[in-house]
């Protein structure tokens, strides 16, 4: 048996499980996002700002995926929202089975918004459906403007692009127009937000988009 065949089987099994999760989310009228990016783009920082804005408006829960440590879950826990840390012990992506197991610790009927923060990696999280409504890819200005061209699958499979750390634009080698153009060339349907988790720029627009997607 070739490695390619094994990988295909793994992905088929994952798709099956993700479809079950999607049903479960639908039953509970949950809006679910899967945030993907390379390490250090600011996923958790954006999430912290988002929780600050949305607290009191909607009930949400967070699943944190990391290769090691519960540092990110601890950051989220400070906001008194339900959070489950998945430690993959070297695994470079979350899969539907890991998410399913994490859901044992979350009461889905209590929440309307579930955030899954994936492991920092622009490659294989693109191929693993977690039953989410949307994949959100975060790219920071410090990563340059060529990443959509180098990691196209992630941008093809995502619905939203958040360009983070826009406050650093004067200091980094990143042309934001070029970055937008590259991303939209790969996926013309991408909706783009520009944010800074440091200054709070763009966070209001992003949170409005979330609120507009909460299921009634």
- Site size for Zn ion (CB under 5 A): 3
Q: Is 72 in the site for Mg ion (CB under 5 A)?
A: yes
Given Zn ion, Mg ion, none, residue 196, with its beta carbon under 5 to 8 Å by kind, binds none
Given Zn ion, Mg ion, none, residue 93, with its beta carbon under 5 to 8 Å by kind, binds Zn ion
CA angle 30, 155, 133 (to 5 degrees): 10
Q: Calculate the CA dihedral of residues 136, 156, 189, 13 and round it to 10 degrees.
A: -70
- Site size for Mg ion (CB under 5 A): 3
Query: Which is nearest to 113 in space by CA: 15, 14, 211, 17?
Result: 211
Q: Calculate the CA dihedral of residues 62, 209, 129, 153 and round it to 10 degrees.
A: -120
Query: First CA to last CA across the chain, in angstroms?
Result: 48
Least Å distance, CB 60 to Zn ion, is 26
What span, in angstroms and rounded, lies between the C-alpha atoms of 51 and 80? Answer: 10
Contact residues for 193 (Cβ-Cβ < 8 A; gap 6+): 160, 161, 162, 163, 202, 205, 206, 209
Cα-flanking dihedrals φ and ψ of residue 158, to 5°? -95, 155
> Which range binds Mg ion by CB under 5 A, 15-23, 35-43, 135-143, 178-186?
35-43
Q: Given the complex with Mg ion, which of 43 and 93 has the nearer CB atom?
A: 43
Q: Is 43 in the site for Mg ion (CB under 5 A)?
A: yes
What crossing angle do the helices spanning 43-54 and 203-213 adopt, rounded to 10°?
A: 70
Contact pick of 33, 99, 124, 207 for Zn ion (by CB under 5 A) = 124
Q: Given the complex with Zn ion, which of 120 and 202 has the nearer CB atom?
A: 120
> Which range binds Mg ion by CB under 5 A, 28-36, 70-78, 167-175, 181-189?
70-78
Contact pick of 22, 49, 93, 165 for Zn ion (by CB under 5 A) = 93
Q: Is 92 in the site for Zn ion (CB under 5 A)?
A: yes
Least Å distance, CB 164 to Mg ion, is 12
What span, in angstroms and rounded, lies between the C-alpha atoms of 114 and 108? Answer: 9
> Which range binds Zn ion by CB under 5 A, 42-50, 59-67, 85-93, 140-148?
85-93
Least Å distance, CB 93 to Zn ion, is 3
Least Å distance, CB 65 to Zn ion, is 11
Contact 42, 138 (CB under 8 A): yes
**Which residues make up the interface to Zn ion (CB under 5 A)?**
92-93, 124
**Which residues make up the interface to Mg ion (CB under 5 A)?**
43-44, 72
């Amino acid at each position: 048996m070739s490695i390619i065949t094994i990988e295909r089987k793994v992905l088929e099994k994952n798709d099956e499980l993700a479809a079950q999760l999607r049903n479960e989310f639908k039953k509970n009228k949950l809006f679910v996002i899967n945030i993907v990016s390379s390490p250090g783009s600011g996923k958790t920082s954006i999430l912290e700002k988002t929780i600050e804005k949305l607290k009191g408006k909607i009930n949400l829960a967070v699943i944190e995926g990391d290769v090691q440590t519960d540092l990110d879950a601890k950051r989220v826990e400070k906001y008194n929202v339900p959070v489950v840390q998945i430690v993959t012990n070297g695994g470079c992506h979350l899969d539907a089975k890991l998410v399913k197991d994490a859901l044992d610790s979350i009461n889905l009927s209590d929440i309307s918004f579930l955030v899954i923060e994936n492991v920092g990696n622009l490659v294989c999280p693109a191929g693993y459906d977690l039953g989410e409504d949307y994949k959100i890819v975060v790219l920071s200005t410090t990563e340059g403007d060529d990443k959509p061209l180098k990691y196209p699958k992630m941008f093809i499979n995502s619905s939203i692009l958040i360009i983070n750390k826009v406050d650093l634009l004067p200091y980094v080698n990143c042309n934001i127009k070029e970055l937008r153009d590259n991303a939209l060339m790969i996926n013309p349907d991408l909706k783009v937000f520009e944010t800074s988790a440091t200054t709070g720029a763009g966070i209001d627009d992003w949170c409005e988009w979330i609120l507009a997607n909460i299921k009634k």
